[in-house]
A and B are shown apart, each in its own frame.
Chain A
Amino acid sequence: MASVEFRDVTKRFGAVAAVDGISLTVERGELFFLLGPSGCGKTTALRMLAGFVEPDEGTILFDGRDVSRLPAHRRNVGMVFQTYALFPHMTVERNVEYGLRFRKTAAAERAARVAEALERTRLSGLGPRYPSELSGGQQQRVALARALAIQPEVLLLDEPLSNLDTKLRVEVREEIKRIHQEFKITAVYVTHDQDEALSLADRMAIMRNGRIEQAGTPAEIYAKPRNEFVAGFVGETNLLDGTAEPRGGAFGYATAAGWVPAQCEASRAIARISLRPECVRLGAPEGAPARGVVRRVSFFGGSVRVEVELENGATLSSVSLGADARLTWREGDAAGVYAEADNAVVLE
């Protein structure tokens, strides 16, 4: 198990910087997520860790050792590929054993480690099968078992769930969490799916255009997105325009949904404010800090989202748990908007 560090790493393909000067540390044993839209550079960053891509600038360190120029087969990195990349001409056992062949592991120990890896990924009994005889979820676990069998310093996962259907995805997600905790391994996981990242990550980094927009725990990033991109990419949000307006000695911004305090003395006269839908409550219009008209009510089973058109024309979403909101609100109703102003975030 090793810590992983990117230090000012840049990789260009032609004129385009796929990864543009990123610095980042993944602690030992951490399950770290690189999250971003396609083309943001997250996969290139992962492939640099694997050794498939060499950085043009900067260094990549495992436990402080510079591995930037080390070829893939000398890195002791386990990787789970998006397509699984199981060797179709080998049985499950042979696939899992493959990496041990290059580690001068004695035959008896090899067999034991293969059996262990299969057991811990709940694949016991499937050893003699070929990959084509397995379901998608089983193939996924073989890929995981194969990567883990070599006891890698770092485990890399490249969108490992993208080829599974929605139900299986949630199952395998939990499986990965369990396996990570059991193996206590440093893991870097690439995805564009925020649910995966929010539910699994110890920490995560949001990438865009080859740069890291923000890094932190899922809760930190969700609660305090640094900018409009992060606020919009991780979770759903309402973006409001605010004008600087000190109130009662405190600094803050006036918005269509009410006054929002700012943490620090921001010098900007106007700012964008992020307000999560669950921080917007609807109530009686009388005496409300802001008012609007219900335009749309969407039911999601466990929650209901109500869109309200404010008096200034902006639309605000409010999400509440339970079905009662659906019963309460109808399109065209006048509603009072009560924002939890303390939970609003002034964006950079």
Chain B
Amino acid sequence: MRSSSNERPGPGAFAAVAAIAAFFALFLFYPLVYVFNKSFIVNGRPTLEFFELLFKSPALRESIGNSLMIAAAVTLLSAALGLAFAWLLSRTDLPAKGLWSNLLLFPLILPPFVGAIGIRYVFGRFGMINILLMKAGIISEMNPIDWLGSPFWGVVILETLHLFPIMLLNISGSFALMDPSLEDAARSLGARGAALFRTVTAPLLMPGFFAGASIVFIWAMTDLGTPLLFEYRAVAPVQIFNAVQATQENALGYALVVAVLLITAAFFMLSKFVFARRRLDMPAFGRSAGRLVRLGLPGKVAVCAALAVFVLIALIPHVSVVLVSFSEKWFMSALPQEWTLDYYGKVFTHPMSYNSVKNSLALSGLAVIVTMAAGGTIAYLLARKKFKGQGILDACAMLPLAVPGVVLAFGYVQGFFGTSLDPRVNPVPLLVIGYAVRRLPLVVRALYAGFQQTGAALEEASASLGAGPAPTLRFITLPLIRANMLGAAILAFAFSMLEVSDSLILAMEEKFFPMTKAIYMLMARLGDGGMIASAMGVLGALLLAAALAAAQKLLGKKMGDLFRA
């Protein structure tokens, strides 16, 4: 039994806990409580009017239904892909695993709503596919195929292509943690094939599986950018977005937000406390390398071919955005007729895009400072102190995973109306805080892992050698978790640069637009808007790719843990 006196929180720790509690109260709970209040209490009386409305209004019922179906479809497809790929990468003798693993994680770098821009050029009525089919004489020019006729599947496919890597990371993580001798033991007891998978492998994969699935489900259900660019209005996040835009206070908006929040919270709880409850940690001693399934030469060829085809499909949004960004002229042809670099220049000369890049850099930079300060404090308190309420602190830090961005942004707009933080007047403070809050789970996880790795004994050794708390922090703790700090900061920055919900909802005037809002607004403009937007999207994706590569180096195997619920 070990516990140190400096684990007992002193006055400094109490102040830190109080500050963190105030931060959560103001920027996480207050907006949610405000929204709840507004939807349940009218004229000082509790009421369920709004919810009757929710069931009576076919439009709202439809949008919730559509969002649930999108989430379910994306989660199932991502889970199937993630499981298959994780198995291939972890349990077979597939050649070039490193390459495949990188290629399969690559789609993570492009926000699906940016991919949607490119998709319209490829699958539009006179996009690349139809033109090719026309040239081949398969379809007539009079009657092009409407590939995007169903925005539902467009959204599902784009989001799946973006989110399956999260399932892959989580399931691979579970495979890596699993002691292969367990499967060997089951085999020696007579289990084989499907029975082995069902009785031993699958149960051990469950925690990782559901940790990933809950993130994918919530993300898909509440993603605002993708349906917006497909002009798919009959989904909950777009309805919420419209409710914020409406000048008049919209009763339905509140009801919808509360409904979405309840659904995501229920799903999060279900996955966290029912499915993933039991931690299936396995002792690490004497771990054998595990037997790999032999694919055989024909199997290897077939699997590699299938993977190559899949990667090509998964990269269509990326490739098409890149094509659009370089195209001077692209009309009624399979590929752009003329090429140019101009739009990359225009990103930095066009007032809206240039301004938005500057805004995003500043907002993301500030957000990183806020989220590192808050996340660092929380991680330290969780890893190094012992006090009542640690579980609550941990849960609060992870709550942004369960609270959709659109919900929180909606709460900010309504809850801070008329205050000095009113985003209608100046959205900067709430954009910074919104970005910071959304990245908090990632930062807390990365830094907590750093503190865990470092271990309290090193800090005790430093104290026993005469170093007080400040020198110990400076010479021992911080240098040792520097990689985790840097990794977390880089990822937080890059994700903030590409954050969608807060940016789209909170930034209302052009001078405050961050990059994602500028991309959205530029898309709607005729002329070169789409090309500049694509160029911005490509730059954003490059930034995120570089950030993920750097973070992977800095955080090593811990990186998969950052995408867990």
Contacts and interface: CB of A to CB of B under 8 A. Distances in A.
A270 to B, nearest CB: 37
Q: Which one of B457, B468, B469, B480 has the greatest number of beta carbons of chain A within 10 Å?
A: B457
B466 A103 contact: yes
A75 to B, nearest CB: 8
Interface string A169-182: 00000000000000
A308 B467 CA distance: 59
Given A13-B1, A43-B2, A52-B4, A99 B466 contact: yes
A83 B4 contact: no
B463 A71 contact: yes
A72 B5 CA distance: 9
A156 B471 CA distance: 22
A103 B468 CA distance: 12
A316 interface: no
B463 to A, nearest CB: 4
The size bracket of the interface on A is 35 or more
Interface in B453-507: 455, 457-458, 460-469, 471-472, 475-476, 479-480
A78 B471 contact: no
Contacts of A74: 466
Contacts of B140: none
B461 A85 contact: yes
A81 B476 contact: no
A194 interface: no
Contacts of A44: 1-2
Nearest to B466: A102
A190 B8 CA distance: 24
B458 A87 contact: yes
B475 A72 contact: no
Interface residues of B, number: 26
Given A83-B455, A102-B471, A51 B464 contact: yes
A52 B6 contact: yes
Contacts of A72: 6, 460, 463-464
A149 to B, nearest CB: 9
Contact of A13 (B3, B463, B464, B469): B3
Nearest to A41: B1
Interface in B113-168: none
Contacts of A78: 464-465
Contacts of A43: 2
Contacts of B455: 83, 85
A76 B39 CA distance: 62
A73 B466 contact: yes
A24 B458 CA distance: 29
Contacts of B464: 50-51, 72-73, 75, 77-79, 147, 156
B469 to A, nearest CB: 8
B479 to A, nearest CB: 5
A66 to B, nearest CB: 15
A47 B4 contact: yes
A81 B463 contact: no
A276 interface: no
A86 B8 CA distance: 25
B39 to A, nearest CB: 43
B458 to A, nearest CB: 5
Contacts of A81: 457, 460-461
A101 B472 CA distance: 12
Interface string B35-61: 000000000000000000000000000
B457 A85 contact: yes
Interface string B1-40: 1111110100000000000000000000000000000000
Contacts of B468: 71, 73, 102
B444 to A, nearest CB: 23
Contact of A54 (B1, B2, B5): B5
A79 B466 contact: no
A329 interface: no
A51 B8 CA distance: 13
Contacts of B3: 13, 53
B463 A52 contact: yes
A39 B2 CA distance: 10
B471 A87 contact: no
A166 to B, nearest CB: 18
B475 to A, nearest CB: 7
Interface string A224-246: 00000000000000000000000
B460 A39 contact: no
Nearest to B454: A88
A140 B15 CA distance: 39
B466 A76 contact: yes
A52 B4 CA distance: 5
A98 interface: yes
A99 B1 contact: no
A83 B469 CA distance: 21
Contact of B476 (A50, A83, A87, A156): A87
A85 B462 CA distance: 9
A39 B481 CA distance: 31
Contacts of B471: 102
Contacts of A344: none
B460 A99 contact: no
A16 B2 CA distance: 12
Interface of B: 1-6, 8, 455, 457-458, 460-469, 471-472, 475-476, 479-480
Given A53-B4, A83-B455, A98-B467, 14 more contacts: A47-B2, A47-B4, A52-B5, A53-B3, A71-B6, A71-B463, A72-B464, A73-B465, A74-B466, A79-B460, A81-B457, A83-B457, A101-B467, A150-B466
25 contacts: A16-B1, A39-B1, A52-B463, A72-B6, A72-B460, A73-B463, A73-B467, A73-B468, A73-B469, A73-B472, A74-B466, A77-B464, A78-B464, A79-B461, A79-B464, A81-B457, A81-B461, A82-B457, A87-B480, A98-B462, A102-B465, A102-B466, A102-B467, A102-B468, A147-B465
- Kindly list the 4 A-B residue pairs having the minimum CB-CB distance in the complex, ordered from nearest: A99-B465, A102-B466, A72-B463, A85-B461
